[in-house]
Amino acid sequence: MHKTRHFHDFAEFRDHVLSAYLSYYPTVASWLGLHQYDRLVEDFSPLRREEYLETLRDAKETLLTKHFSDKADKTNHFECRALEWKINDEIFRLTELKDFEWNPMVYSDQLEIMHLIDRNFAPITERMRAVLARLRAYPRVLAIARQNLSAYMDRTIVETGLMALEGRLGYLERLPDLTFGEIQDAELVQDLTQAIQTAKLAISSFAQAIRTVVLPHAMYDSFRLGEKLMSRFIKSSELIDDSLDTLLEKGRREIDRLTVELYKASAELDPSANPREVFHTFVETEHFNEQTLLKEVEQMLERIRSFVIANNLLAMPSEIRCRVEETPAHMRWAFAAMNSPGAFERVASEAFYYVTLPEAEWDAEKRKEFLHTLNRSVLEVISIHEAYPGHYTHFLHLQNIQSKVGKIFQSYAFIEGWAHYTEEMMLAAGWGGGDPRIRMAYLHEALIRLARYVTAIELHRGTMTLSEAQQLFEDKALMRPMAARREAERGVFDPGYLFYTLGKFQIRELREKLEKQPGFSLFDFHNEFLSYGSVPIKIIAEMMGG
């Protein structure tokens, strides 16, 4: 008979829960910089899942009966709240959301090895032995995926998953060129060569099974979570109690407000044209040459970073810069993305700001349309979001916080809400010098996030089609059809992409409340906000007196 474990104090209980979490998600632990997990991969088999769930349920019972929380001890109170949230959210995801049954991207993420190769936290041979162990585990990961995944998945999700797997294959094809030249151990190179072939075969076989067994039965428009589960997802993920109707009303009001601002900025550039015409004429046509784009972005990042420091907006904890590189093949669904070291990483400092370039096989017209989407003004706003003072700056602060709970657990709305909030904050601080093109670029990006917010709710409650979602991105966010379709399709497999705007709303509301207090400092507000890590903003608001 199972017996609930007893703990002498909160620290022992906390470390037990963190260990259980990291052991269940070792690739997450490895990415965080806890390198004892480098050679391990997830086991999402039903038996292991039930074992983990039993640990979570015991931990939940312990929290209910032990009353560990002490409001007089701020760190203790914070960690108790965060543990309570995460334990409940994990139980929800494993018993109700069950994305391991309907989203093959869950398993693609377990195949990630880039941080082991790109970050020089240990000698190349040591890192590549970890890669070797991961590659040898691919067949087991994908066998469990075939066991867990439903035979009746949504076609958009299946197609996206296949695209990600193709990207993984492309990365493995290039892996010898990336690493073998540095390895002096001939036996290790031979083992890696064999493991790469085995891993590629496992991915190819899995993808072929998806194409032949799943894809013929996959139906478009069969992805919806439904109103009840979508509400539960938002509440569990971010501790938000508002109804979907209330959330939608708030989003639509913000769309209306920003649309008015868009017309004002547009009129400054050309009062005789509509915003779409102005955006295409004055914003989209001004883009970098694809041959010099990466170097131009590097220089842009330095200007943005200097502005943050000069205007005393928040602390910049390190002089180390992120490196601008082309987006790897399996991540090219994003126009740009930040890849920072984990919060526990103490040796490797490499952080990569990925920018997606046009595909080599595209014709001139498609290349031109893509570069119009990734124009100079929009790329400035994206770079604020991804690097300074957005994701990369957040990472730099994460490395300095003391709470292990704050370092490990992550809220989608905190991470993306902070980065999105910084776009608005930077313009309010004077970035762009009032240039209406920069304002239009910011409004374009904000309206994309608002369209995501509305789309995620409407798609998953069943009140919007994918075509209607695409049209929303085109009409409200001025997106071109190819990019609008990509955004709409992301909402199918990523219902949480509404959290960009939801998190921004929460940070803005917290700041507005605290601004009324005597002695408020924006610099101090930002630094304290980032000092808690990445847990749900509702918990941080409680800690900050909001």
- Span 443-454, average pLDDT: 97
Edge-first strand order for the sheet with 336-339 is 323-326, 352-355, 336-339
What are the tokens at 264? 């004002």
- Give the per-residue pLDDT at 7: 86
Residue 2 scores a pLDDT above 60:
no
Structure confidence by residue, pLDDT tens digits, 19-56: 999 999 999 999 999 999 999 999 999 999 999 999 99
Cβ–Cβ < 8 Å for 512, 389: no
Q: Which residues contact 299 (CB under 8 A, 6 or more apart)?
A: none
Strand partners, 355: 326, 336
- Give the per-residue pLDDT at 502: 98
How far apart (Å, rounded) are the C-alpha atoms in residues 510 and 545? 9
- Give the per-residue pLDDT at 333: 62
How far apart (Å, rounded) are the C-alpha atoms in residues 356 and 368? 14
Hey, where are the domains in the chain? 10-217, 231-543
Cβ–Cβ < 8 Å for 156, 492: yes
The chain-wide mean pLDDT, for the chain, equals 93
DSSP-derived letter for residue 347 is S
Cβ–Cβ < 8 Å for 160, 223: no
- Give the per-residue pLDDT at 475: 95
Stretch among 55-69, 73-87, 446-460, 508-522 having the lowest mean pLDDT: 55-69
Burial (Cβ within 10 Å: 0-12, 13-18, ≥19) of residue 525: middle
Cβ–Cβ < 8 Å for 532, 540: yes
Residue 68 scores a pLDDT above 80:
no
Stretch among 235-249, 305-319, 354-368 having the lowest mean pLDDT: 354-368
pLDDT-based confidence at 330, cuts 50/70/90? low
477 versus 374: the higher-pLDDT residue is: 477
Q: What percent of the chain has pLDDT over 70?
A: 98
Strand partners, 325: 354
How far apart (Å, rounded) are the C-alpha atoms in residues 225 and 460? 5
Q: Which residues contact 494 (CB under 8 A, 6 or more apart)?
A: 456
> Helices 436-461 and 412-428: crossing angle, nearest 10°?
150
- Give the per-residue pLDDT at 4: 65
Beta-carbon neighbour count of residue 97 at 10 Å? Answer: 19
- String of DSSP letters for 385-417: HHTSSSHHHHHHHHTT---HHHHH-B-HHHHHH
Tokens 């700056």 label which residue? 393
CA triple 330-536-44, angle to 5 deg: 50
> Exposure string (b/e) for 297-311, b if CB count within 10 Å is 16 or more?
bbebbeebbebbeee
DSSP-derived letter for residue 534 is B
DSSP-derived 3-state class of residue 115: helix
Radius of gyration in angstroms for the set of CA atoms belonging to the chain, rounded to a whole number: 23
pLDDT-based confidence at 69, cuts 50/70/90? low
Of 410, 430, 412, 417, nearest to 494 (Cα)?
A: 412
- Span 219-237, average pLDDT: 95
Structure confidence by residue, pLDDT tens digits, 353-395: 999 888 888 888 888 878 887 889 999 999 999 999 999 999 9
What are the tokens at 514? 């605290």
How far apart (Å, rounded) are the C-alpha atoms in residues 357 and 359? 6
Structure confidence by residue, pLDDT tens digits, 103-125: 999 999 999 999 999 889 999 99
Residue 448 scores a pLDDT above 50:
yes
Residue 1 scores a pLDDT above 50:
no
Q: What is the pTM of this model?
A: 0.94
Beta-carbon neighbour count of residue 168 at 10 Å? Answer: 21
pLDDT-based confidence at 405, cuts 50/70/90? very high
Cα–Cα distances in Å, from 386 out to 162, 390, 415, 478? 27, 5, 10, 21
Beta-carbon neighbour count of residue 109 at 10 Å? Answer: 15
- Give the per-residue pLDDT at 74: 86
Structure confidence by residue, pLDDT tens digits, 186-221: 999 999 999 999 999 999 999 999 999 999 999 888
Question: Longest Cα pair distance anywhere in the chain, in angstroms?
Answer: 77
Structure confidence by residue, pLDDT tens digits, 253-289: 999 999 999 999 999 999 999 999 999 999 988 888 8
Q: State how beta strands 352-355 and 336-339 pair.
A: antiparallel
pLDDT-based confidence at 72, cuts 50/70/90? low
